[in-house]
Amino acid sequence: MKTSPIRCELDHLVVGAQSLDEGAGYIADLLGVSPVKGGVHPNMGTHNVLLSLGGSVYLEVIAINPDGDPPEHPRWFSLDNPAVRQTLKEGPQLLTWVARTPDISGLTRLEPYTACDVREMSRGDLRWLFAFTPDGECPGDGLLPHVIEWRGNAHPANTLPDSQCRFKSLKANLAPGGSTGATIAAMGLNPILSGSASEDDAVGLHAVIKTPRGEIVL
């Protein structure tokens, strides 16, 4: 595997839900604080709510927008995957995570991101570049992050109220010496993701969040 020319840091966590109201309620019940309104993504047919996790890290709850037009391409974060849709019928779930980089162009030289299509996106005052997988699926079944490059100084975390919740760590089932762990290392994300989730955990990705109620595993 080639060494990555990019260095990344955690941007946000992505929780999928069958509906935005259900997802917002799930987070409010779990963490003890309600997410705030985000907005709509017209080109993706989705909408979201957001919650600060301290500093420049936040949590995004995303769902298919029932009032939006279906996109001509697969939605992001595996939201068009039939298996994921079935899982979300059982309740909201942490789907994946997003890392930010100052130069997303370097991503195309790192497996498995070489096939990604980098597109310009916007919502309100926010402008960013996002690396889309060809089929809309999450890289590495959600264990590898999607990658984003924010344009300008605007960032969602800048305007979110302090939730008193703080991101602590991500845990996942990473095979020793496997390609996923090697990619994480090449992106400089080892301090974010540790390979210590339960071996019999079918989901494989969990976030540990410090809240006023104590540490919560998402």
Predicted pLDDT of residue 195: 65
Q: Is residue 105 part of a domain?
A: yes
Q: Is residue 197 part of a domain?
A: yes
Q: Is residue 42 part of a domain?
A: yes
Distance (Å, whole) CA 26 – CA 2: 40
Q: Is residue 86 part of a domain?
A: yes
Predicted pLDDT of residue 200: 47
Q: Is residue 2 part of a domain?
A: no
Q: Write the pLDDT tens digit of every residue in 7-46.
A: 899 999 999 999 999 999 999 999 999 999 999 998 899 9
Expressed as residue numbers, the domain containing 148 is 9-217
What would the DSSP string read from start to end of 175-215? -TT-HHHHHHHHTT-TTTEES-S-TT-SS-EEEEEEETTEE
Q: How many domains does the chain have?
A: 1
| CATH at residue 58 | 3.10.180.10
Predicted pLDDT of residue 7: 83
The stretch 142-165 carries a mean pLDDT of 94
The stretch 127-154 carries a mean pLDDT of 91
Whether residue 2 has pLDDT greater than 80: no
Q: Write the pLDDT tens digit of every residue in 159-192.
A: 999 999 999 999 887 666 678 888 888 898 888 8
Quote the tokens at residue 6.
């990019």
Q: Is residue 4 part of a domain?
A: no
Q: Is residue 55 part of a domain?
A: yes
Asked if residue 65 lies in contact with residue 173, where contact means CB atoms within 8 angstroms, the answer is: no
Q: Is residue 168 part of a domain?
A: yes
